[in-house]
Amino acid sequence: MTENSKVLALKYRPQVFEDLIGQEIIAETIKNSVISDKAPNAFLFTGIRGVGKTTFARIVAKALNCENGVENLCKKDFCENCNSIVNSNHIDVLEMDAASKTGVDDVRELIEFSRYGPTTAKYKIFIIDEVHMLSKQAFNALLKTLEEPPKYLKFIFATTEIKKIPVTVISRCQRFDLSRVKSEELFNYIKMIKNKEGGKVSDEALKLIVKISEGSVRDALSLLDRGLVANQNDEELNLDKAQSIYGYFDKSSLIELIKNLFSGDEKKVFELYRKIYDSGVDPKIFLNDFLEVLYYLKNINFIKLDGNNFSLNDQDFSNLSSISENLDSKDIILFWQFTLDTMEEINIVSNPNLSVEMFLFRLMRIKGLKEKDVEESFTGKNPDTLINETEKKITSKTIDQIKNISQQEKIEPNLNKDEVINELKIGSFESLINLCTERKEAKLKYELETNTNLVSFSEGLIEISFNENLDKDFIKNLSNKLYEWTSKRWIISLSKNQGQISKKEKNKIDEKKIFDDVKKSEAYKKVIEAFPDAELINVELKED
Q: What pLDDT band is residue 158 in, cutting at 50, 70 and 90?
A: very high
Q: pLDDT band for 303, please (50, 70, 90 cuts).
A: low
| Dihedral over alpha carbons 471, 473, 479, 483 (to 10 degrees) | -120
Q: Between 71 and 420, name the one with better pLDDT.
A: 71
The answer to whether the CB of 477 falls within 8 A of the CB of 492 is no
Position 345 pLDDT exceeds 60: yes
Report pLDDT for 100: 84
- Between CA 457 and CA 448 the distance in angstroms is 13
How far is 318 from 4, CA to CA, in rounded Å? 43
| pLDDT tens sequence across 219-237 | 999 999 988 888 767 778 8
pLDDT of res. 413 = 46
pLDDT of 515 over the 80 cut? no
Written out in words, the top-level CATH class of the domain with range 252-385 is mainly alpha
The region of weakest confidence among 38-47, 55-64, 457-466 is 457-466
Mean pLDDT of the chain: 80
pLDDT at 459: 81
Give one DSSP letter per residue of 93-128, joined into a string. EEEEETTT--SHHHHHHHHHHHTSPPSSSS-EEEEE
62: nearest Cα among 76, 44, 48, 46: 76
Average pLDDT on 11-33 reads 91
pLDDT of 306 above 90: no
Q: Indicate if the pLDDT at residue 391 is higher than 50.
A: no
With a cut of 50, say whether residue 502 has pLDDT above it: yes
CA distance 166 to 122: 30
Are residues 212 and 223 in contact, defined by beta-carbon separation less than 8 angstroms?
A: yes
Q: Is the pLDDT of residue 200 over 50?
A: yes
CATH code of the domain occupying 8-177? 3.40.50.300
**Which overall architecture, per CATH, does domain 183-246 show?**
Orthogonal Bundle (1.10)
The secondary structure of residue 380, as a DSSP letter, is S
401-495 belongs to CATH 3.40.1130: no
Neighbouring C-alpha atoms within 13 Å toward the C-beta of 358: 12
Higher pLDDT, 53 or 417: 53
Tell me what the mean pLDDT of segment 500-512 comes to.
72
User: In the chain, what are the domain boundaries?
Assistant: 8-177, 183-246, 252-385, 401-495
398 pLDDT band (50/70/90 cuts)?
very low
pLDDT tens track for 95-128? 888 888 888 888 888 888 888 888 888 999 999 9
Which of the four pLDDT bands, split at 50, 70 and 90, describes residue 324?
confident
Alpha-carbon distance of 94 to 91, in angstroms, equals: 7
pLDDT at 406 over 80: no
> Do the domains at 8-177 and 183-246 have one common CATH topology?
no
Would you state the pLDDT for residue 384? 53
